Amino acid sequence: MAFGYRRPGLFYGLSTVLSWGLWLAAAYLSHLPQQGPEVQGATAALGLAGLAAPVGVAAWLVRGRPELWMDVRRRLLWPRGVSRLHLACAFGLLLASILAATAVSLLFGYSADQFQLRGGFSFTSGLLPVWSVLVLAPILEELAWHGYGTDALLTRFNLFTASLLFTVFWTFWHVPLALIQGYYQSEVVAEGWLATLNFPLSMVPFVLLMNWLYCRTGRSIGVAVIFHLSAGFVNEILRTHPDTKVIQTALLLPLTAVVVWRNRELFFGGRPGAGGVPVAQLPHEARST
């Protein structure tokens, strides 16, 4: 069975237009001088709606396609036979990388206090609790990105090209969030040019590693959610200096290069949607690490 997710342009176009429209309205409200409960509530609602918009687009595109609904439901279940390596990477790779980056930062004179728990959050989210955003964002995003978007790109490109194209889109998609007062992306921009540049650069290894796990676990949306969740919480639970996140990116890039090289057939092979066999259908013993 070839992938049936064949409308990438429409999916990414509508996802961008809807999310941008809602978030620009939220940005406008967040800068009003009077920030009462009504304004803050409307800002939070618009922010959440923008986050959920790509899920709505994905659901609309698979309407009337029972085979796609069945495929999505299957991929929402926790996959069987996941290797310990892939499971460990999904849950702990990003935590290990930030701890390693923090250890490296000590060599450059940064404080060991970075290993301590933050005891709070580095950004606000209006009336919504920050922890709820850290949970909802990965779930809603991955329902869209790996429920439809990634497979749609794979109908036309190999996994490596699809991952890089998605990184460009994802960076562009996040831009309006930097305009919403107090949101994570606006705090990143406020930290300076290095932190701002690191945000899209860090997405390159993040997306490649997440798609590696996604494919090696039978296109599991749940594994993608776990990996994305870990990224959000790892960035918030410790008193990590912004420069240490740059070091983390520097550590993840060569690691990602090794993963891509060792899985070059997966990343550079034929397009699954063009008649190739989806990774999900390969016998487990035929999949590499």
Q: Which residues are tagged catalytic?
A: 141, 174
Residue 276 per-residue DSSP state: P
Residue carrying structure tokens 């034929």:
270
d(C-alpha 158, C-alpha 208), whole Å: 12
Number of CB atoms found within 10 A of residue 49's CB: 17
Where are the strands (E) in 95-228, listed by range? none
Where are the strands (E) in the chain, listed by range? none
Token pair, residue 52, equals: 């959920």
Buried b (16+ CB within 10 A) or exposed e, 180-190: bbebbbbbbbe
27 phi/psi in degrees, rounded to 5: -65, -40
DSSP 138-176: HHHHHHHIIIIIHHHHHTTS-HHHHHHHHHHHHHHHHGG
Instruction: Note whether 151 and 5 are within 8 A (CB).
Output: yes
d(C-alpha 236, C-alpha 67), whole Å: 39
Instruction: Note whether 219 and 287 are within 8 A (CB).
Output: no
d(C-alpha 234, C-alpha 36), whole Å: 32
DSSP 53-68: HHHHHHHHHTTT-HHH
Handedness of CA 82, 205, 151, 53 (dihedral sign): positive
